[in-house]
Structure 1
Amino acid sequence: MSTQTLTLVLIAIGVLAVATIVTVLVVRRRRAQLPAGTDRPRVPGAPTDGDDQLGAGGTTTTAPTGSAGSVGPSAPALQTPEGVGARLVRLRSRLARSGALGQALLAVLGRDHLDEAAWEELEETLLQADLGIDPTTSLLTSLRTRIRVDGTKDPVAIRALLRELLLEQVDPTMDRSLATTPVLGADGEPHPATILMVGVNGTGKTTTVGKLARLLVAQDKDVVLGAADTFRAAAADQLATWGSRVGVDVVRSAKDGADPASVAHDAVTAGARAGADVVIIDTAGRLQNKSGLMDELGKIVRVASRPAPIAESLLVLDATTGQNGLRQARVFAEVAHLTGIVLTKLDGSAKGGIVVAVQRELGIPVKLVGLGEGADDLAPFEPEAFVDALLG
């Protein structure tokens, strides 16, 4: 090889080496400029696109975005749900803004003379508030007797008497606690407390499931959600969004239209495997007069209760539906063995009598109430605060 040829070869090698070094430096500089977390290695067990684990019923367990093991700059920070105390303060305040029923009652009772026309007006007011015929008759009979015996016309005394009788109708002695303690299953092992949420279309059931998950997380409970409304893909997506905000896993179908009972079973199984405290199962909204849909709900109840008894079966009712809501409750009680009621849109309006009517009809308590669109606008029902709000 000539000297000239050797020189050219050495020059070519040098140029290649310099180019390689420059390329490495550029790549390192670009990586350094990427957002934090972009180049982090995948944590073992963390979900990535396409490798979520399928359950026995063809379900997918979706890890909440932003939870431990999540990857990527788009992962949002987990939210801290509001505690029960703060919720109750806010809900009492909202209830107190409205007292249409109490104002109407007190306006009549404050008259100098209560004739039959006045008592008929009181009866009409209570019936329009959806209190129901029997509770209305009972309350007015007691009220007439007490006013006649006491002979009082003092507005403060009459208000106190009305409060006492209304509170009696709401029944503060009913157990309104929510069963959230793990129970022993058929296998002798502890299983999460299963809460089944049922109701007709349009009551805000899926949203209520998400809000309930936040309430339980605020109480330091480990929660798993089951998206057993398999006919609406949006319902499962909605639950996934709620879960991502507070670090709660969601068990959902891997395909639309899957058997909802299978999803419910897989959610209970996943909850037990994860050592969760509570599993909340969302079901599809259904009309109470559709026997096929109610039979399907019965199947969900049977399948979900096989590992361990269902701890709570809650009916979500729109408080503004009045007596129609009462008819809904009767049918769901037969199929789902209801243990409690969740009333949404309970704003202390003149329709608040549905609380008394539904409890009296079914013998089960209103346990939770919703009073707004906010994520934490769900709280335990307080009879005293409710009655005080009605009276203004």
Structure 2
Amino acid sequence: MTPGTASIRTAYKIIILLGIVALCGDIIYEGARSISGPYLLSFGASAVLIGTITGAGEFLGYAVRLISGRAVDSSGQYWALTIGGYAMLIAIPLLAFAGSWEMAALFFILERIGKGIRSPAKDTILANATAPVGRGMGFGIHELFDQFGAVLGPVILAFSLAGSGAYKEGFLLLLIPFVVLIVLVIGAWRMLPDPVGFEMHQPMTLSEGSGISRKFMIFSLFTLFCTAGFLSFPLISFHALKNGLFQAFEIPLLYALAMLVDAAVAPVCGKLYDQRGFILLLVIPVVGIIIPFLGFGMNREFIYGAAILFGISMGMQETILRAFIADRIHISKRGTAYGIFNTVYGAGFFIGGVLVGWLYENIQSMAPIAPAVLSVLACGVFFMMKNSFKE
């Protein structure tokens, strides 16, 4: 049995509408994040303080997802949490009125908490909406829009700063995508007020799925090793800049290249996931094995290669890992599952970043080997997971 034409049309409308919402959101917070360090520095914040503020924001943003994920499942308030979380993006335009680093830090942290509140709910709505068209394809289209926003945000802020020379005008400019975002997310709510009911009326390609079980915990372990072994772009760019391989102005362009690759790859690998399924997950840690040896290489071509593979991996992570949860977790437990997933996902990046950063400073020859080993371990967990899902 195939989904009806009306259901497919509604699904694509919601996916595209939420994609534009995500694009606007990324313009706002990725634009702000691109100048967060210099802005805090303008208030006299030290490097350690900036790192602490950034780290605290990321930690709280991921930790709150455990709570918001359970809240989604227990309350069923998918849209309330999604809209409320997006509304907290107002903290970014309000940075124009921050008079101290303490106030600016509060606004930056509030934005991260808002993302933590909305993420499990938004992912759950997308999981419901993508049922008629394929989870991989649906999440892939969403990631395509998302990454265009990640490219546009820093570019818009760069042009604003180049024109005015002041941060205030740049932050106030972000009021425009904020208003558009709020209007569109409310429109999406009105179009699909009952996302769970929408999915339950679709023929399922799998059974309803399971709850939070041992199988999901193995998947979480796989995610942890994948992200811990995934060499982050800041470390790639730090290495390239420190060794004179790239000039400072080239780094944002290199990042933009990675984000464009991410945007291009996401819908393609999403479609492949819908066709090929489980096996596509293995590509993530395999790519993770290669990236550190290119990213810590000593010529420009290796760095470009690392940036391209970084974009490919990000596109796959953001698409097929979330699609996999939607396919395998019962509709009543998805909010909790996405909360756990997002927390583990962030913890892996933190562990890998600290480990590889320390090795780079102290035992540089081990810096590419450690993430590669973690990615190899992720491959091992993949086969454990594969056998588990066959049971």
Larger radius of gyration: 1
TM-score (structure 1 length as normaliser): 0.23
Structure with bigger helix share is 2
Normalised by the length of structure 2, the TM-score is 0.23
Greater relative contact order (CA < 8 Å, ≥ 6 in sequence): 2
Between Structure 1 and Structure 2, the one with more strand by share is 1
